[in-house]
Amino acid sequence: MSTAGHTHDEPDWLHGHPHEPNPAPPSDDAAITLILPDGETHRLTVDALRALPFTTVPNCYIVSTGHGTSGPFSFGGVTLAALLAAFLPDEAKWQFVDVVSGDGFGARLRREETLDHAGDRPMLLAYLVNGESMTRQAGLVRLIAPTETDDALKQVKWVAQIVVK
């Protein structure tokens, strides 16, 4: 099933990816576009993410649907909650955030899922793996959902867009 013609308002748009292994990054552009509820747009580089509070989450696994499990890894980066807090006022009204890969795969997360209430297992925009910068091939920036242990449908490689709605 292709994501062509689907809008991000449709509830199942994120399941349009066939989950085939990606041999190469979908594009050379590694920047992330952050789109806020009011339409304001920010272009984020890895250096911009590095300027935000740093978090390490150890003992994470990458569970790829149909492709097995790898790890454990220690991922480092900025929590999704910290990124959103840096760009949204506390009183901002939003319900969910879409984190989308450059190849169109994505995860829709409810506001409650993005909060740092997960203690030492928060949603993380990771740019380090085992203390080393991730290569573009490895994803450069990946959404890590440390509490996800089954099909990893919330883990997104090659994050290209974050849309807050």
| 18-41 per-position pLDDT tens digit | 555 555 666 777 899 999 999 999
Tally the domains of the chain. Answer: 1
Residue partners of 43: CB distance under 8 A and separation at least 6: 31, 32, 33, 34
Could you tell me the pTM of the whole model? 0.82
Domain of 69, in residue numbers:
29-164
The pLDDT, as a whole number, for residue 104 is 86
Q: Name the pLDDT band for 48 (thresholds 50, 70, 90).
A: very high
| Residue 17 resides in a domain | no
Mean pLDDT of the region 108-114: 87
Residue 22 vs residue 79, higher pLDDT = 79
CB atoms within 10 A of CB 83: 25
Look up tokens 């990946």; give the residue: 142
| Residue 16 resides in a domain | no
CATH code, domain carrying 121: 3.90.420.10
| Residue 5 resides in a domain | no
| Residue 7 resides in a domain | no
| Residue 98 resides in a domain | yes
